[in-house]
Amino acid sequence: MTSEYKVSKRLEEVLEVKRQMAKEVEHLPPREAIAELRRQASESRKNYPNLKEASPRKKRG
């Protein structure tokens, strides 16, 4: 398998998870939905502390 293929498959998996999360909160008002998704992301980071987060972007100027 090429690394491009692996990245492509991983992106598909991530997008599918995000779609499922969106379906779970689609009945909520926008503010509550955003708060719930943030809470879920926070829980996920607690459960998988060894995953690296995206590095913050450097400010220019």
Q: What is the pLDDT of residue 29?
A: 92
Helix (H, G, I), strand (E, B) or coil at 7: helix
Q: How far apart are the first and last CA of the chain?
A: 41
pLDDT at 17: 87
What is the pTM (predicted TM-score) of this model? 0.54
Q: What gap in Å lies between CA 48 and CA 55, rounded to an integer? A: 17
- Please tell me the distance from the alpha carbon of residue 10 to that of residue 16, in angstroms, as a whole number: 10
37-52: pLDDT as tens digits: 899 888 877 777 666 6
